[in-house]
Copies of this chain bind each other. A is one copy, B any other.
Amino acid sequence: MDTLTADDMEALCLGATLLGAGGGGDPYIAKLVAHQALETYGPVEVVNAAALPGDALVLTTAVIGAPTVILEKIPAGTEYVAGVKALASYLGKETAAIMPIEVGGLNTLLPIAAAAEMGLPIVNADSMRRAFPQIEMTVFTLAGLAAGPLSIADEKGNQCVFETTTNQVAESLARAAVIQLGLANAISCYPLTAAQVVEHAIRGSLTYCTEVGRMLQAVKDGADGAWDRFLSESGSREFFNGKVIDLDRRTTDGFARSTVILEGLDGLDTTMRIEVQNENLIAFLDGKPAITTPNLICLLDCETFDPITTEALAYGNRVLVIGMPCAPEWHSDGMLDLVGPRAFGYDVDFVELQA
């Protein structure tokens, strides 16, 4: 994976939708934005952070807000580059490369558009290899790296820079700003040197996302044994095959929250309940936690195998629910405090995926 071109966007988008675990925002519009940027500005070089000088500045860019809003408030396209430039200016340094902060959802694709426009390479790494709803929920926080200084930019030219004592305060300030700026804005956070990326990031995320996307495309194309291959190669497991019989959505505190109830299609009287805060966080099988964050809970259309985002899910949808293992980099001290079920307010223990 040396460069990304417009042709690579399909597989990446499919993988990103899956890794969004219901959240991260539907990547469809971001795919169009990235596609257009790659056609306009040419291919983007994909680099490993180790190939950059150790002190080179790597900046991230992402949309921050509620997926339900992001779906309707289409990016102007100017805010991502503006946010990166605002942060670089605040830091008084040149940006050497762009990195996605989350590979999962549309934030996988938006950084590619920004990198293309800025003529910068993109680093094949991220801090989640899935989507999470809060800024502090990264492997960087586990490593003690600061989310700030971070910038927030909107499409009108408003800009914020936050420098905070903890990543939790960064989250609360950024969230408060985003609520004022329309709940779909650009954020550039965790400014790091290439050496820090090498040491602390989840490496190869873009490659992983593309591979997962290609395997899923093979399933969609009806290739022989593709589904089993997808499950085994991604370490995933099928948990439920059911129909949406209840869906309770509310947008509160700047997040899209919902509760999904599925009824089994297997003729047995089983139900699955999924709790959502931007992303699918916990799946209860007949009342018992079956899949928990930080592992991924992904819903796929029963017939097309398209991953379904939280905001697109509808009453009556027939879906497959799979559990995918989170990136191994998550498994270090503090993981459950930061992104386990209790970090989201659920009094539920973490469940090993293969248990």
Q: Chain A residues in contact with chain B, CB under 8 A?
A: 86, 90, 156-165, 169, 172-173, 176-177, 179-181
Contacts and interface: CB of A to CB of B under 8 A. Distances in A.
Contact of A160 (B86, B158, B165, B173): B173
A169 B165 contact: no
Nearest to A163: B159
Q: How many copies does the complex hold?
A: 2
A160 B157 contact: no
The 5 closest A-B pairs by CB, nearest first: A176-B176, A161-B161, A172-B180, A159-B163, A158-B164
Given A160-B160, A163-B158, A176 B169 contact: no
Contacts of A169: 158, 180-181
Contacts of A86: 163
A163 B177 CA distance: 12
Given A157-B165, A159-B164, A176-B179, 4 more contacts: A90-B90, A169-B180, A169-B181, A173-B177
B159 A160 contact: no
Contacts of A161: 90, 160-161
Contacts of A160: 160-163, 173
A180 B173 CA distance: 6
Contacts of A157: 165
A163 to B, nearest CB: 5
Contacts of A181: 169, 173
Contacts of A159: 162-164
Nearest to A172: B180
A165 to B, nearest CB: 5
5 contacts: A158-B164, A158-B169, A176-B176, A176-B177, A176-B179
Contacts of A158: 162-165, 169, 173
A156 to B, nearest CB: 5
Nearest to A176: B176
A169 B155 CA distance: 13
A83 to B, nearest CB: 12
Contacts of A162: 158-160
A175 to B, nearest CB: 8
Nearest to A92: B92
A169 B173 CA distance: 15
Contacts of A176: 176-177, 179-180
B156 A165 contact: yes
Count chain B CB atoms within 10 A of each CB in A86, A156, A164, A179 and give the residue with the most.
Answer: A164
Contacts of A180: 169, 172-173, 176
Contact of A177 (B90, B156, B165, B177): B177
Count chain B CB atoms within 10 A of each CB in A157, A160, A165 and give the residue with the most.
Answer: A160
A159 B160 CA distance: 10
A165 B158 CA distance: 6
A158 B171 CA distance: 12
A122 to B, nearest CB: 27
A252 B161 CA distance: 26
Contacts of A165: 156-158
